[in-house]
Amino acid sequence: MSNSIAKHGFASVPANTNTLFSEVDLKAKSYPIAVPVSETPIPDTPLCRRIQECARTRLPQPTYHHSLRVYHYGLAIKRYAFPDWSFSDETYFLACMLHDIGTTRENLHATKLSFEFYGGYLALDVLQTQYDAGDAIASKDQAESIAEAIIRHQDLRDVGSITALGQLVQLATIFDNVGGHASLVHDDTVKDVVEHYPRLKWSSCFAATVAEEVELKPWAHTTALGDFKGHILANPYNSFYLRQYAHEYARQLSFSKLSRMSCQNSILDKEFYQRHRTSGTPLPKFFTSAANASDRAIFQEGP
């Protein structure tokens, strides 16, 4: 394998996650360890700084936070399940920052292409264009690997192959968007990542974007995912902190049914929150932190 192939994530891996997990013998691995944000720092390179600023200024804040969560979740997943994948953190970070660039309102309305495909085109351009003298740019191979990953980050398949970079972007986005593959990420990793980059009602934001794209472009690739909007809104990680506290509360009361179901049903989480409001039982520290007021609203007003 050439250095460029390995460095930029072009290595071919199974698209089917069950096949992939079997190849790395995931069942034989112990439970993932917690990986705090401090252990997955953003690469301090001129190109990463430029693209991060581009994402920060062009993306709505919920989308920007989602992109950062995908970066940190992805590196935690890679460390646990795929330590042999050798592509650079820089390449992965750039892919994360740009993977949803096609979802901005301006870009949705600028093209008839599906948002992932247009996003790949935009990424190729921004990564290889020197807008000002001295701007850092990506190599052709790095830019094309990132564009490939962006174009295919919703291309969930049972057959065929995908790049290692693209697979990691898929795994991390599916985790943050719908709670899929939760066994790959320690709960404390989620807690730390969300404390650094609150969800800001991300599920409602992205579900609205999905609905808008399908209305504008009924041929969009998003339609291949079925009721994607419904899966987004049902993401159990909308109520992560409340669910964690509900588990402990249920254990103490031997209320096993709630404990089992609260992992899958955010409506129960909201009912649990209402019970706390009327019972006077102290809420977790999360709910009393002014810094997380926007996230507390998740439980009071929907995801």
Q: Report pLDDT digits (tens) over 168-188.
A: 999 999 999 888 899 999 999
The count of structural domains within the chain is 1
Q: Residue 108 corresponds to which amino acid?
A: L
Both tokens assigned to 50: 């430029």
Please indicate, yes or no, if residue 263 is contained in any of the structural domains: no
Please indicate, yes or no, if residue 300 is contained in any of the structural domains: no
pLDDT in tens, 120-144: 999 999 999 998 888 999 999 999 9
Q: Which residue has the higher pLDDT, 297 or 234?
A: 234
The torsion of the CA quartet 42, 48, 50, 53, rounded to 10 degrees, works out to -30
Give the structural domain span for 37: 4-258
Rg (CA), the chain: 20
Q: Which residue has the higher pLDDT, 275 or 86?
A: 86
- Partnered with residue 14 across adjacent β-strands are 161
Confidence of residue 281 (pLDDT cuts 50, 70, 90): very low
Q: What phi, psi does 14 have (nearest 5°)? A: -60, 140
Alpha-carbon torsion (105, 144, 21, 189), positive or negative:
negative
Which pLDDT belongs to residue 266? 36
Please indicate, yes or no, if residue 302 is contained in any of the structural domains: no
Which pLDDT belongs to residue 268? 33
Q: Which residue has the higher pLDDT, 257 or 213?
A: 213
Which pLDDT belongs to residue 261? 34
Q: Which residue has the higher pLDDT, 123 or 292?
A: 123
Please indicate, yes or no, if residue 285 is contained in any of the structural domains: no
pLDDT in tens, 33-59: 999 999 999 999 999 999 999 999 999
> Model's pTM, two decimal places?
0.79
Per-residue H/E/C for the chain: CCHHHHHCCCCEEECCHHHHHHHCCHHHCCCCCCCCHHHCCCCCCHHHHHHHHHHHHHCCHHHHHHHHHHHHHHHHHHHHHCCCCCCCHHHHHHHHHHCCHHHCHHHHCCCCCCHHHHHHHHHHHHHHCCCCCCCCCCCHHHHHHHHHHHHCCCCCCCCCEEEHHHHHHHHHHHHHHHCCCHHHCCHHHHHHHHHHCCCCCHHHHHHHHHHHHHHHCCCCHHHHHCCHHHHHHCCHHHHHHHHHHHHHHHHHHCCHHHHHHCCCCHHHHHHHHHHHHHHCCCCCHHHHCHHHHHHHHHHHHCC
Distance CA 220, CA 214 (A): 6
Please indicate, yes or no, if residue 71 is contained in any of the structural domains: yes
Q: Which residue has the higher pLDDT, 299 or 121?
A: 121
Which pLDDT belongs to residue 195? 94
Mean pLDDT in residue range 16-29: 95
Mean pLDDT in residue range 155-180: 94
Distance CA 149, CA 168 (A): 9
Mean pLDDT in residue range 254-278: 38
Please indicate, yes or no, if residue 267 is contained in any of the structural domains: no
Q: Which residue has the higher pLDDT, 185 or 201?
A: 185
